A = this chain, B = another copy of it.
Amino acid sequence: MHLELTPVETVACCSPLTREPLSAAEADGIAPLLRALADPVRLRLVSLVASHEGGEACVCDLNDAFELSQPTISHHLKVLHEVGLLEREKRGVWVYYRARTQALENLAAVIGGRTV
């Protein structure tokens, strides 16, 4: 129950980039989402989670997919979670992440010029 809107919640309200000029406020809302995605490791993390069976993936699996330290992966997951692109769920000792596909679709709609 939080009142602060994550960037992901602010993106569903904009018409496509190519239809009419984005307002400064809209751009400020969308940019953090893109910045979160604009890293090769985070792109692959989102892709790994989203395409994983069940739509979710355990951090333990994600760590093995990269030749990066565990804190680094944890940091990237946090960035994606804070911006609202990934959901977190702790089950026992393990943490599972799930992609918000609706958020990705909304973002794509703003960039690509299609209506959702």
Interface SS, A side? helix
Beta-carbon contacts of A27-49 to B below 8 Å, as 1s and 0s? 11011001101111101101110
Task: Contact check, B99 vs A104: say whether CB atoms are below 8 A apart.
Answer: no
- Interface residues on chain A, size class: 35 or more
Residues of chain B contacted by A34 (CB below 8 angstroms): 34, 37-38, 43
Q: At the interface, yes or no: A1 with Cβ under 8 Å from chain B?
A: no
Q: Is A89 an interface residue (CB 8 A)?
A: no
Instruction: State the A residues within 8 Å of B (CB).
Output: 17-22, 24, 27-28, 30-31, 34-35, 37-41, 43-44, 46-48, 50-51, 65, 99, 101, 104-105, 107-109, 111-114
